[in-house]
Amino acid sequence: MNPFSKKFSSIYFLLSALLLAFLLGACGVSSSDALKGSAGGGNGAKEPSAETPVAEEATAIPEAPTATPIPPATGRIIFASNRDGQTDLYMTSPNGGEPTRLAVDAAIDGGSPIRISPDGTKIAFSATVNDNADIYVFDIVSGEMTRLTDAAGKDSSPSWSPDGRQIAFESFRDGNLEIYVVNADGSNPVRLTNDPAGDTAPIWSPTANEILFASNRFGNSDLFLLSLNGSVSTLTTAPNADNFAAWSPDGSRIAFQSFEGTLSKICVVDRTGLNKDCFSDFAEYGLPVWSPDGGQIAATASLNGSSFIHLFNVGTKITTQIAPPDTQPFGVPAWSPDGLRLVFQSRGDMGIYSLLLLTGEFARIAPESSSSSSPVWIN
C-alpha cells in the first residue's frame, strides 16, 4: 500500500469511530459499555436482570471479645498462729511467702475474732496473759500494741464503732457475761447491759450507734439490738437458738445462724427483725460474712463428715457450694477488699488458704506446718 492509501485509511478509521460514538450517545449508551459488550462477544451491553446475582461487598467478621483479665490479689492477710510456740499474730501476702511475726507478746485467743478498725490501720483482739483474757489493739502502721482492759474476768469479742473511737466487747468481770464499751485508747469503760442472762458477741452496726448481741434472756439464744443509752429491742424470738450474727455493709440487714439441734441454717432479717429469709438447708455452719458489696454471704459448713464453703446470693437466693480438695474449710472466712477472693482456715492441715471464686483456684498462703486461724484481709 502506498503512503497516501495508509494516510487515507487512518483518516477513515478516525471518522468512523467519531460517528459511532455520536450515534451511541444519541441512543443513551456510553462508549465504555459498548466496548464491554463488544469484548464479551459483540452483543452489546446488558443491564443485569432480576435473576442475575450481583456480588455484594464482603462483611468484616468481628473479632471475638477477649476475656477481662482477673486482677492480681493485693493487700495483706493477718492471722493467728502458734508457729513460734505461742499463738501470736502474723502477716503475709495473699500470694504466699514468708509470714512476718507482728510485735505482739501475748497469747492470742484463737477462738476470739480479729477485728479490723474502720480505717484499716488497727486490729482489735482478745489475748490471754497470766491466765486472764483482755482486749488489745495493735497498730499495723506503728507496730504499737495497747492493752485496753485489765479487769479480772475474761474480756473478749471486740467490735469497733463506725468512727473507730470506741470498742464494744463482752466481759465476765462482774460474774456474768455483759456488754461493755471502752474508748479505743482504753479509757472510760462503761457497762451497757445488766441482765441475769448471758449477753454475748456484740457487733457494732457499721452505720449507727447500735450494737447487735445474742442473749438467752428468753431461755434460748436470740438476737437483740442495744442502743448506747441502754435500751434493748428484741430482733428474733424463734423456738430454737439464733446467734452468730453479722451486719450487712450498709447496716440494713443482719445475717445469722438459726439452729435446730446442732445444725443450723443461714438466715437474714432486716434491722427491725422483720422479713426473715433463710438461704440454706441445715448443716454445721460457721459465722456468716458479707461480701464488700453486700450481694453475697459466705460461710463454712460441715455435713456428714465433709467440709466446704457455701456462697449465698442475697438477690437470687442461689446457693453455690465450693469444696477445695483436701482443705476441709472451717472457721470464719474473710473476703478480699475487691470481693473476688476468700481466705479461710483448713481443718485438714490447719493452714490458711486463698480461694479465687471465679475459677475455684486455691493455694495455701502460709506454707509452714503450724496451727493457724482467724484470718482477716486488709488493704
pLDDT tens across 326-344, in order? 899 999 999 999 999 999 9
Confidence (pLDDT) at 102: 87
Q: Please state the three-class secondary structure of the chain as a single string.
A: CCHHHHHHHHHHHHHHHHHHHHHHHHCCCCHHHHHHHHHCCCCCCCCCCCCCCCCCCCCCCCCCCCCCCCCCCCCEEEEEECCCCCCEEEEECCCCCCCEECCCCCEECCCCCCEECCCCCEEEEEEEECCEEEEEEEECCCCCEEECCCCCCCEEEEEECCCCCEEEEEECCCCCCEEEEEECCCCCCEECCCCCCCEEEEEECCCCCEEEEEECCCCCCEEEEEECCCCEEECCCCCCCEEEEEECCCCCEEEEEEEECCEEEEEEEECCCCCCEECCCCEEECCCEECCCCCEEEEEEEECCEEEEEEEECCCCCEEEECCCCCCEEEEEEECCCCCEEEEEECCCCCEEEEECCCCCEEECCCCCCCEEEEEEEC
Residue 19 — pLDDT band, cuts 50, 70, 90? very low
The per-residue pLDDT for range 195-251, each reduced to its tens digit, is 999 999 999 999 988 999 999 999 999 999 999 888 999 999 988 899 999 999 999
Q: Is 375 left (phi over 0), alpha (psi -120 to 50) or beta?
A: beta
55 vs 159, more confident = 159
Q: Span 271-275, mean pLDDT?
A: 91
Q: What is the reported pLDDT for 368?
A: 63
pLDDT at 62: 61
The mean pLDDT value for 304-308 works out to 92
Least confident interval from 47-51, 132-136, 283-287, 301-305: 47-51
Number of residues assigned to the chain: 379
pLDDT exceeds cutoff 80 at 112: no
Residue 263 has pLDDT above 50, yes or no: yes
For residue 135, name the pLDDT band (cuts at 50, 70, 90).
very high
- Range scoring the smallest mean pLDDT among 3-7, 97-101, 215-219, 358-362: 3-7
On the question of pLDDT at 122 being above 50, the answer is yes
What pLDDT is stored for residue 1 in this prediction?
A: 47
The model scores a pTM over 0.85: no
Q: pLDDT band at 262, cuts 50/70/90? A: confident
Residue 24: band (very low, low, confident or very high) from pLDDT cuts 50, 70, 90: very low
Task: State the pLDDT at residue 50.
Answer: 47
